Structure 1
Amino acid sequence: MSTKSALAQQLAIVAGFEDPTVSLEQYRTPPELAATLVHTADLHEDIADRTVLDLGCGTGMLALAAALRGPTRVVGLDIDPAPLATARENERKVASTTDVGWVRGDATRVPLAPDDPTTVVMNPPFGAQSDNEHADREFLGTAADIADVSYSIHNRGSVEFVEAFAADNGGEVTHAFEAAFDLPHQFEHHTEATRTVDAEVFRIAWR
């Protein structure tokens, strides 16, 4: 197994969004954060010999990180076809030994029902936009329906919400850690060249 830093280096070539949509909160997951999340999942034996599903995969950062760690298969799902095209290009650049299936679909109404052990990885919208509040709740609902375990990135201060949601839906938060999320200047409302926001990552075991 490659080191976390080596995985981050492999992911550095993954391109982000060419024309991101504000309402979908489309941001490229930082390679270091993706590497940390997937490395943690691998240490918990949640990647190898399992199906890994990346909900709202965007240009494929988390899906490709998982693909580099020997899962049975990886599926990246996103509602927007444009980033899926970029994700396919990113897959060719990363050149993992595991093929990734890229599927256009709504992560809140997943048309997939894996019957083998399944891990969900996701960086759902934080719900920062007024018309997109609680978007991460629906992503967690999908994870509860189809996964044995999930890893998800949320805005800082989400501990109480995530723990309560998991408990109400047959799950349990087993691990959590803080992370930095670097946001580039890509929308008109951004006033800085780059901005770092605090985030939290949760591992949930679903029963």
Structure 2
Amino acid sequence: MAGPSRRTLARALETLADFADPTAALEQYLTPPEIAAHICHQARLQDDLEGWVVDLGTGTGMLAIAASLAGARQVIGLDIDPDALAVARQNAARIDEAGKHGCLEWLRGDATRPPLSLTDATVVSNPPFGAQRGNRHADREFLETTRSIANVSYTIHNEGSQEFVESFAADEGGEVTHAFRAEFPIARRFEFHTEAEETLEAEVFRIEWE
């Protein structure tokens, strides 16, 4: 059955609320609706939404809700921050379609040590880019978790990450099957931001894991 178009998904996701009080150490930035729509629309076209979908580090719930709207019926949004999960729940409640099948579950936990026993999920994730002190290898830790629970994943990374992602996947028996660039606008939220809005160049990768 045909699902919503990418544009329809993006428009719906534009209504979701951002973090009320984001934490810099966790690199809490709103995943752009256009990127979330692109990922989940592509996942539906690839039949990657048939089983469990896990959004690691769900934050405001953007990717989890996008997956639900795109047709996934079993979605878990995992985050270590209870305040972020509260925003995610509120965002899901404001979109009727996201809750009509009761498919969304919100779980508090560390994305690098998730309290999950899944082994064949589809993972969607916008991990920390590693910009903050102490987070240098955060995206690698997210990929390590992804490898342990997923057979397919879609993750967002900073520009210039393709060699690292492809190498990591190959070492773990996986393969990058799709990659695309995306603009990642970031509004001024923290004291160290000097511009009202900055646009980062990001890269999104689909990986099939053995």
Match of 2:19 among 14, 17, 20: 17
1:56 corresponds to: 57
Deviation at 1:130, TM superposition (A): 2.3
1:91 corresponds to: 92
1:107 corresponds to: 111
How many residues align structurally?
A: 205
Q: Tell me how far apart the structure 1 counterparts of residues 89 and 161 of structure 2 sit (CA, whole Å).
A: 32
Match of 2:7 among 5, 8, 13: 5
Percent sequence identity over aligned pairs: 58
Tell whether 2:163 aligns with 1:188. Answer: no
Deviation at 1:114, TM superposition (A): 2.1
Match of 2:164 among 149, 161, 164: 161
Match of 1:44 among 39, 46, 61: 46
Q: TM-score, normalised to structure 1's length? A: 0.97
SS in 1 for 2:89: helix
Deviations 1:58-82, CA, capped at 9 Å, x for gaps? 0100000001122230000000000
SS in 1 for 2:94: helix
Deviations 1:108-142, CA, capped at 9 Å, x for gaps? 00110125x41000000000112210100000001
Q: Tell me how far apart the structure 2 counterparts of residues 70 and 130 of structure 1 sit (CA, whole Å).
A: 37
Confirm or deny: 8 A CA contact 1:144 1:170 kept in the other structure: no
Deviation at 1:189, TM superposition (A): 0.4
SS in 2 for 1:141: helix
The AA in structure 2 aligned to 1:8 is: A
The AA in structure 2 aligned to 1:27 is: Y
SS in 1 for 2:60: coil
Q: TM-score, normalised to structure 2's length? A: 0.95
Deviation at 1:195, TM superposition (A): 0.7
4+ aligned runs moved over 3 Å, structure 1: none
Unaligned runs of 5+ in 2: none
2:127 corresponds to: 124
Deviations 1:82-106, CA, capped at 9 Å, x for gaps? 0100110001111223431100000
2:80 corresponds to: 79
The AA in structure 2 aligned to 1:10 is: A
Q: Tell me how far apart the structure 1 counterparts of residues 42 and 75 of structure 2 sit (CA, whole Å).
A: 17
The AA in structure 1 aligned to 2:174 is: G
Confirm or deny: 8 A CA contact 2:159 2:201 kept in the other structure: yes
Q: Aligned Cα RMSD in Å?
A: 0.9
